[in-house]
Structure 1
Amino acid sequence: MVEVLVAIHNVFRWVALIAAFAAVGTAWQGVLSKRAYTRGDRLRSVALVASMHTQLLLGLVLYGLSPIVRSGFADMSTAMSTRGIRFFVVEHIFLMIVAVAVIQAGSIMAKKADDDAKKHKRGAIFYTVGLLLVLGGIPWFRPLFPGL
């Protein structure tokens, strides 16, 4: 079961990253061009938030089932001194939870802004910070396309 969830989490990360790059790109485009905030902008924001929440939910389930995390909690001293274990026990989950919180906050703040320029600016800043946190939390030392 863990292997299936890891595979789903791996595949869905690409959906979340595409949604993030799309939302960041259109938000900055809106800031720079000073264009109106459209339904498409809002839909990209919703897609980003939904994909990030889905990834977080999958990740939390995996965190509870992961043999790597379990071994890390069994011997926290060794886990903290072993980069690969520390990454999954502490760093990955921390960065991803913070990233989802930042993206969610940006979505709420953009939605509540009273003019289009503020909507674009808030989305651009928060989504960019969230995307950078996600990129920092991706296990780049593992295959990007496992099994291929």
Structure 2
Amino acid sequence: MYLTLLTLHSLVRWFVLISLIVSIYLAYRGWLKNKPYTKSDRIIRIITVSIAHTQLIIGLWLYYISPIVDYFLHNFKESIHQTQLRFFGMEHITMMLIAMTLITAGAGIARRKKVDKDKFKSTAIWYSIALLIIFTSIPWEFSPFTSRPYFRFF
């Protein structure tokens, strides 16, 4: 179960990143070029939030069953001083929860705006901040905190 969830979490991360990048691109384009907010813009916003929430559910489930997190929580005093254990036990989940909150808030704020330019602006700003947090909190192969492969296979 753990390996399956880990692989799924690794795969869905790319869908999150792609959907966020597409949403941000369309939001900045709409905002800066005064485009009308269309049904496809709304659908892309909803898809982005849905993918992000799916990743959040997988991540929380993974956090609950992870042997790394279990070790971190049961050996907190020692683990807090080990970069890799601290990253997965505390930093990764905290930053991703913040990013998911920003994505959700940004989508909700954009949905309630009456002016198309304001919808695009809200989406662009909130999603951009979330993407920055996500980029800094993913365990990339080049990360100074911990290293994981770009693609994890079963």
Question: How far, CA to CA, are the matches of 1:123 and 1:15 in structure 2?
Answer: 18
What letter is aligned with 2:108?
A: I
Is residue 150 of structure 2 the alignment partner of residue 144 of structure 1? yes
| Rounded Cα–Cα distance in structure 2 between residues aligned with 1:89 and 1:45 | 30
Gaps of 5+ in 2: 141-146
Calculate percent identity across the aligned residue pairs: 36
Q: How does 1:46-125 map to 2 (within 5 A)?
A: 46-125=46-125
Matched, 1:5 2:11: no
Deviation digits for residues 1-41 of structure 1 (CA, Å, limit 9, x no counterpart): 10011011111111111111011110011111111111111
Cα deviation, residue 133, structure 1: 1.1
What CA deviation, in whole Å up to 9, does each residue of 1:38-57 have, x standing for no partner?
A: 11111111011001100000
How much does 1:134 deviate?
Answer: 1.0
What is the letter of the counterpart of residue 136 of structure 2?
A: G
Distance (whole Å) between structure 2 residues aligned to residue 104 and residue 119 of structure 1:
14
Higher helix proportion, which one?
Answer: 1
Residue 48 of structure 2: SS of its match in structure 1? helix
| TM superposition outliers: structure 1 runs of 4+ over 6 Å | none
Q: Deviations over 1:52-98 (max 9, x none)?
A: 10000000000000000000011112211111000000011001111
The aligned amino acid for 1:143 is P
Distance in 2 separating the partners of 1:27 and 1:108? 14
C-alpha separation in 1, matches of 2:41 and 2:153? 35
Secondary structure, counterpart of 2:148 in structure 1: coil
- TM (norm. structure 2) is 0.93
Q: If the length of structure 1 is used for normalisation, what is the TM-score? A: 0.97
Q: Distance in 2 between matches of 1:113 and 1:119?
A: 6
The structural deviation recorded for 1:147 is 4.2
